[in-house]
Amino acid sequence: MKNIVHKKKVILALMLSLLAFFMLIELIQILQKESFPPAQLALLVEENIHKTGVTNPVTAVLLSFRAYDTLLEMGVLVLAFFGAIGLSGGGLEYNQLTKTSQHPILIKLASTLVPVMILTGGYLLWAGTHQPGGAFQAGAVLAVGGVLLSKAGLTDPLKWYPKLTLLFCTLGLTGFLLVGISFHLIGFHFLHHPQALSYVLIFFIETLIALSTASVLIMLYAIGRALLSPLGTRQ
């Protein structure tokens, strides 16, 4: 009986992968045609990019043309953070007894790689204004550095729970909203700002978003690990 179920699964998987393969071929053929509408969108971005103060089209779309989407994305990250706290049942606390792996190789690896990761994160953040990079990538690299530190047992992100982590995890959303609302009060549209200040403001918001993304990802990891280990949560 089990064998039959397994065979059915294999056949289903085969059919699905065949379907995906043909869809991929179809997609490639569509992309090769010249009259594909997003090409016009790219032209629109190119025509208006000088108004945003940045030269990387991805950053221009994310933080200027489609700032509202990015704002809501930050909301999703904050919601994920609160969701994880909710799953923990409110019993999260820093426990000095949870010394996980004090493995010498991990410690050496973390102490060598984390400074480089912080540097890379900072560079990606700065590079995002004129070449590929940006806030989310920088945040992801910083987050991996933080996870490596806590994996090596060098620090526990829960040490800063709840005050500092709450501040950092909501920093992107609140900062973005504050900038948007304060210029709205002066007389601009919501999330609009004067062109002269564009570069500074986009860089400021990107920094906040990077910090926020990194702390949310690190906290998701830390909360998950605390939930799995019997020492991490108050029973």
- List residues near another protein by CB under 8 A: 10, 13, 17, 20-21, 24, 58, 124, 132-134, 136-137, 140-141, 143-144, 147, 151, 217, 220-221, 224-225, 228, 230
Pairwise CA distance, residues 173 & 209, whole Å: 8
Pairwise CA distance, residues 143 & 67, whole Å: 23
> 218 near 148, Cβ under 8 Å?
no
Cα–Cα–Cα angle for 129, 131, 133, nearest 5°?
A: 80
User: Minimum Å distance from CB 152 to another protein?
Assistant: 12
User: Minimum Å distance from CB 178 to another protein?
Assistant: 26
User: Minimum Å distance from CB 186 to another protein?
Assistant: 32
Specify the residue, 77 or 183, whose C-beta has the smaller distance to another protein. Answer: 77
Specify the residue, 135 or 183, whose C-beta has the smaller distance to another protein. Answer: 135
DSSP alpha helices (H): ranges in 88-197?
104-127, 135-151, 163-186
> 143 near 213, Cβ under 8 Å?
yes
User: Minimum Å distance from CB 187 to another protein?
Assistant: 34
Specify the residue, 78 or 217, whose C-beta has the smaller distance to another protein. Answer: 217
Q: Which residues contact 74 (CB under 8 A, 6 or more apart)?
A: 172, 173, 176, 209, 212
Pairwise CA distance, residues 31 & 60, whole Å: 23
Pairwise CA distance, residues 89 & 98, whole Å: 19
User: Minimum Å distance from CB 23 to another protein?
Assistant: 12
Specify the residue, 21 or 36, whose C-beta has the smaller distance to another protein. Answer: 21
Specify the residue, 86 or 230, whose C-beta has the smaller distance to another protein. Answer: 230
